[in-house]
Structure 1
Amino acid sequence: MTSQNKKKEEELIKLFDKAPIKKTFGMTFHYDQGSAIFELPYNPGLDHALGGTHGGVIATLLDNAGWFTVALYYDTWIATSEFQTRLLEPVTKETLISRGWIIRQGKTLSVAGMEVKTSSGKLIATGTGSFVVTSVPYNIFQS
């Protein structure tokens, strides 16, 4: 990994650290070999009425993993255009880990694959997402 990529990873992690959703959900985030990895400890406040983790929470993990993976490779803002979620298994009372990877990197559109597993390795959801590359400058920390 180049020092430039490492710097970008650090900037994106700082960006996420400022996001209110991080505190609300209790997620942590890091990079591993160019893939964004999110970890969500079990939180009963994110369960549906029957006690399982709500599908919208799982979709959020997928979107975050895709967006932050793609964002690493561009110098302008990207925006989620669409994403597909496939919920494969219900999950209750477990830590969830999402991961993203690049499927296609283009000038104006990037496509990512995403997955969510339990901390024991059980695959519970997969997804793909399209992310539009905007012309908005990527100046996160300039006041």
Structure 2
Amino acid sequence: MARSRTFEWGDPQVSAAAVGRASGLEFLRDVLAGRLPAPPIAATLNFTLHEVESGRAVFTMEPGEEHYNPIGSVHGGVYATLLDSAAGCAVQSTLPAGTGYTSLDLNVKFLRPITVDTGKVRAVGTVLSQGRRTALAQAELFDSTDRLLAHATSSCMIFPVPAR
């Protein structure tokens, strides 16, 4: 039986234009509060920024069949997207105004399968080390009973954002 899902997203250019105007933490708090639209990937995969503080970002997602791979569990790319988002936004939360970042790499370890029966999952990103040009962050993906489902590390490049 065919299934469908409909979703909406805000204009990504609105958020992109705001990057660097304020600190990374202020930017992420504006996304969290709905003053800036979340990125379209959040609507596509149905995940949300749940909390943010300096050096830490948490995303949550309720897994659905639309996230499945051909063997009946959540696709590894969904894990990776959540982990990359949490690690990257943890780095972003530490950046001063006029600064941006991008992921240089992502190393993911898949530990447990996720299905619709897993329930809500959360990806917790934290900054491990930060310099002027690069940062190292990790992210852990947990189920509702705090079982570790996956772990990732990410190196991020930090750069000045041109005034817009």
- TM-score between the two structures when normalised by the length of structure 1: 0.84
For residue 24 of structure 1, the aligned residue among 38, 44, 56 is: 44
**Aligned partners of 1:77 and 1:6: how far apart in 2?**
12
Alignment RMSD: 2.2
Deviation larger for 9-18 or 61-70: 9-18
| 2:90 counterpart letter in structure 1 | T
Distance in 2 between the 1:49 and 1:56 partners?
A: 13
- Contact 1:12–1:68 (Cα < 8 Å) also in 2: no
Closer, same or farther in 2 for the Cα pair 1:136/1:65, shift >3 Å? same
C-alpha deviations, 1:43-70, integer Å up to 9, x for none? 1101111211111100001100011110
Alpha-carbon distance between aligned partners in 2 of 1:5 and 1:89, rounded to the nearest angstrom: 32
In structure 2, stretches of 5+ residues that fail to align are: 1-22
Moved over 4 A (4+): none
In structure 1, stretches of 5+ residues that fail to align are none
2:28 counterpart of 1:9: yes
In 2, the alpha carbon distance for the partners of 1:22 and 1:16 equals: 13
Counterpart CA distance in 2 for 1:107 and 1:5 is: 15
In 2, the alpha carbon distance for the partners of 1:28 and 1:83 equals: 20
- CA apart distance, 1:33: 4.2
Matches of 2:52 and 2:147, distance apart in 1: 19
User: Which of the pair has more CA radius of gyration?
Assistant: 2
Contact in 1 for aligned 2:83/2:151 (Cα 8 Å) = yes
Identical residues among aligned pairs (%): 26
The residue number in structure 1 matching 2:101 is 78
User: How many residues align structurally?
Assistant: 136
Q: Secondary structure at the residue paired with 1:91? A: coil
Cα gap change, 1:9 to 1:19, in 2 (>3 Å): closer
Give the one of 111, 115, 126 matched to 2:140.
115
1:65 to 82, 86, 89: 86
**Rounded Cα–Cα distance in structure 1 between residues aligned with 2:39 and 2:52:** 21
Is 1:92 matched with 2:115?
yes
Matched, 1:125 2:150: yes
Output the TM-score relative to the length of structure 2: 0.74
Counterpart residue identity of residue 122, structure 1: R
